Amino acid sequence: MAHIQQSGVRNRLLKVMTGEDFARLQSHLEPVDLLVDQTLIEANIRTEYLYFLESGLGSITADGTNGRVEIGIIGREGVVGASHVLLGSDRVPYRHFVQMADHALSIRAGIVSAAVDESPTLRKLLLRYVLTEMIQVRQTAIVNATFEIEVRLARWLLMCHDRAEGDELLLKHEFLSMMLGVRRSGVTLAMQQLEGAGRIRARRGRITVLDRELLEEMANGSYGTPEAEYARLIEGA
């Protein structure tokens, strides 16, 4: 297989690595196409591969007494499976799956662990990314405890929009209530409110962002903190 070239990658973490750090991973990166609802990391099962997403959207979910709830999302800004592997665990009690069809570069978890042990600069970068994941999860907890569903939905759509190729989000409707941890009827009403205000257009399995600025207004300050921290910690903004 021809080596993946750093100049051609779309994953934001791979793009900001030093040339030396990228070279540590380069020959081990394998292009893969991922399907909607495909499991990338199964809960409580040894993690064999990490995935640097190049497009699409990955979701981290937890099972509870009231069903499955999303606790994090990952796009081309990150790497699926990084947090627990880099912190020394070979498994995690959460399922990671594909929510919007992905293209990714897969790599064995052990290769990444070994590279991090060899390179302080790579360790610093990837641990900073782990911190941004933690910030996102904590912000989600704050938002879910503080805001009404319409605000939470607006924030979630903005996060998906950040990771999409354009304004159209291909999202299965049955995922929506799971993502927000509410009943499906509540999601339907919130979606109708956003659509009625001209912020989005919703069709079965397809949501189009019509006015991002209005959607950000609807998010009422709940969106932006993890995104700003990613820019500060990873891209030096």
Are the C-beta atoms of 129 and 52 separated by less than 8 Å? no
**What is the pLDDT, as a whole number, of residue 29?**
98
The reported pLDDT for the residue numbered 237 is 47
Q: What is the CATH number of domain 148-221?
A: 1.10.10.10
Low-confidence ranges of the chain (pLDDT < 70): 1-2, 66, 173-174, 181, 184-185, 237
CA dist 101 and 207 (Å) reads 15
Give the pLDDT confidence score for residue 102 in this predicted structure: 84
3-state helix, strand, coil in the chain (%, to 5): 45, 25, 30
Secondary structure (3-state) at 138: helix
Q: Where are the domains of the chain?
A: 6-143, 148-221
The per-residue pLDDT for 2 is 67
| pLDDT of amino acid 1 | 57
Query: Residue 8's closest CA among 103, 129, 147?
Result: 103
Tell which CATH architecture fits domain 6-143: Sandwich (2.60)
Judge whether 6-143 and 148-221 match in fold.
no
